[in-house]
Structure 1
Amino acid sequence: MSRNKELLSKIGLRLDGRRANELRRIRCKLGVFGQPDGSAYLEQGLTKVLAAVYGPHQVRGNKSKARHDECILNCQFSMAVFSTSERKKRPRGDRKSTEMSLHLHQALLSVIKTELYPWSQIDVYVEVLHADGGVYSACVNAATLALIDAGIPLKEYVCSCTASLANNDIPMVDIAHQEEMLGGATLTVAAMPMSGKIVLMEMSQRFHMDHLSKVMEKALQGCKDIKVILDQAIRDHVKDVGCSTGWANTNQKVGR
C-alpha cells in the first residue's frame, strides 16, 4: 500500500484539515527591520522566514566583478540552528544552503530589472526561523516582499509553491513537512503568475508523465493565489506607511 493513501481522508481532508486545493495560512509583514533597505517576515503555515535586502550599492570586495550593463545579485540562504527538530551544526555554507542560495538567485534574477543599476550590487539575505515544509517557496515569497519594500523595480512578482499527489492521483497544493515525509514526490515551482512563466522547477522524485501536468497546474495555481495574498499585503503596507502596522493576515483559506 502506498504511503500516499494516508494523505487524504475519505471526506477529502488532509492531515491539517485542509482540502487538496487549499493553501496554508499566510501571514506577512513588510519593513520589519530598520537597517536594511528592505525587509519582510513571512509565515506560510508553520514555516517562518525573514528576508532582508541591501542595495543597490557599490560593489564590495573585488571591484573587477562589477558589470557595466547590469548589477550583481548576491543571494544568501541560511537556516537558524533551531529551525528544525535536529539542531544544525552549520546554519550556512553547507551543500544544501549553497544549493538553495543558487536557486533563490535564479528566481529573483528573472524579475529584477538589473539593467537599471550598472556597476552596482544588490544583496538578498534569507533566514529560515522554522521549517515545516515548502521552505524554498516561503523564501522566494519573502524575498519578493523584501525587494518591493526596498523599492527595487521588478518586472512582476515571482512567487513559489509546492504540489504533490495524494491517493496516487489527486493533486494537492502547498505541501507541509508531515505530508512531505508521508507522501511521494513533491514538485516545487517558482513562477511569474501574471505572465505564467516558470523560472524554476524542481522535483524531489520522479513523477509519472500522466500526473506531471496536473501537479504542475496545481502548483502554478498556488503561485497565482499566493500572488494575490502578497499583493494585498503590500497594498495594506503602503496605506499604513509611517504608522504602527499590524499583521497582513490571511485567515481565510485560498483555493480553487
Structure 2
Amino acid sequence: MTKSERTDNRKLDEIRPMKMKIGVIKRADGSAEVEFGDTKVVAAVYGPRQIHPRHQERPDRSVLRCRYNMLPFSVSDRKRPGYDRRSTELGKVITESLQPALFLEEFPKTAIDIDMEITQADAGTRTTAINAASLALAHAGIPMRDLVTSVAAGRANKKLLLDMTKEEEDAPDAVDLPVAMMPRTGKITLLQMDGIVSPEDIEKIVDIAEIGCMKIYEMQKKALLEKYSS
C-alpha cells in the first residue's frame, strides 16, 4: 500500500514503531514490556503457584487469571486508580485469548497469574497487553503451543487501516476490530468488533490484521532470541 493521509504518515498497512523488552521485573517468574507507538504495557507472570482462594482450584488444569490495569497517568484525562468494569472485562478477554496457547493441563490445582499495567495509552491497549503477556509467559517457561500475537485493524475516514491511533479510532465512521492469533496454525483466539461494517470489509480487515500479526510474531521471536543469546 502507498503512503496514506494518516496523521503519523504511516502506510495504511503499517504498524506503529514497536519495542519489546523481556525480563523487566526481577521478582516475577516472567515479564515483558511492549510499546506500540505511544502505547506502553508491562506484563508480569507469577506461577504456576498455589491458588487462592482455594475454591477456584481445578483438579484437571491450572487456572489462568489475567488482570488488566490502566494506570491513572496513562491517559491525558486523569483516570481514577484501581480496577473498573472495563478493566475486569478486558482481563477476561485477554484470558480467553491466551488460554488456547497454553498447556494448562500440565499444572492441575494451580494458578498462573498475569498482571498487565498500561503505563501509557494511545489506542490498542488490549492488543499490546496480549503481546506483552505472551512474551512474559514464554519468559516464565510456561509450556506453550505457540506465542499469541495481536493487533487491531479497522476503518477510519473511509480507509481500511492497520494498528489505528486514538485519533483514528475517534473518526465518525470508525470501526475497530482487534484480532489475536497463534501464527503457526493461523488459529484466531480473539475477534471483536466495535462499529458497523459490511461483511466484505470485515473479511478484508481481518486479512489486514492477520498480516500485521505475522509481523509482530517476527518481532516477538527476535526479542526472545536476543534475551536468551545475550
TM-score category, normalised to shorter length: over 0.9
Question: Could you tell me which residue of structure 1 aligns to residue 102 of structure 2?
Answer: 112
d(CA) in 1 for partners of 2:146 and 2:225?
A: 15
Runs of 4+ in structure 1 deviating by more than 4 angstroms, as ranges, are: none
- For 1:78 and 1:55, locate their aligned partners in 2 and report how far apart those are by CA, in whole Å: 19
The equivalent of 2:7 in structure 1 is 15
1:175 to 161, 164, 167: 164
Name the counterpart of 1:38. Answer: 30
Distance in 2 (CA, whole Å) between partners of 1:34 and 1:210 is 47
What residue is the counterpart of 1:246 in the other structure? none
Q: Which blocks of at least 5 consecutive residues in structure 2 are unaligned?
A: none
What is the distance in 2 between the residues matched to 1:126 and 1:166? 28
Aligned partner of 2:133 among 143, 146, 156: 143
| C-alpha RMSD of the superposition | 1.6
> More relative contact order in 1 or in 2 (CA 8 Å, sep 6+)?
1
Segments of 5+ residues of structure 1 without an aligned counterpart are: 1-9, 241-256
Aligned positions, number: 229
Alpha-carbon distance in structure 2 between the residues aligned to 1:58 and 1:167: 50
| Correspondences of 1:1-256 after superposition (within 5 Å) | 12-61=4-53, 63-92=54-83, 94-168=84-158, 170-182=159-171, 184-240=174-230
Give the whole-Å Cα distance in 1 for the aligned partners of 2:136 and 2:115: 10
Partners of 2:29 and 2:46 within 8 A in 1: yes
Separation in 2, partners of 1:26, 1:80: 21
TM-score by length of 1: 0.86
When the two structures are superposed, what TM-score results if normalisation uses the length of structure 2? 0.95
Q: CA deviation at 1:120?
A: 1.0
Distance apart, 1:176 and its partner CA: 1.2
Deviation at 1:13, TM superposition (A): 4.0
Structure 1 or 2, whichever has the larger Rg, is 1
CA distance in 2, matches of 1:64, 1:159: 32
- TM-aligned CA distance change 1:11 to 1:197, over 3 Å: closer
- 1:11 to partner: Cα distance: 5.1
Identical amino acids, percent of aligned pairs: 36
1:64–1:166 distance in 2 versus 1, CA, 3 Å: closer
Q: Counterparts of 1:193 and 1:23 in 2: how far apart (Å)? A: 17
Work out the CA distance in 1 between the residues paired with 2:217 and 2:119. 22
Separation of aligned partners in 2, 1:229 and 1:116? 28
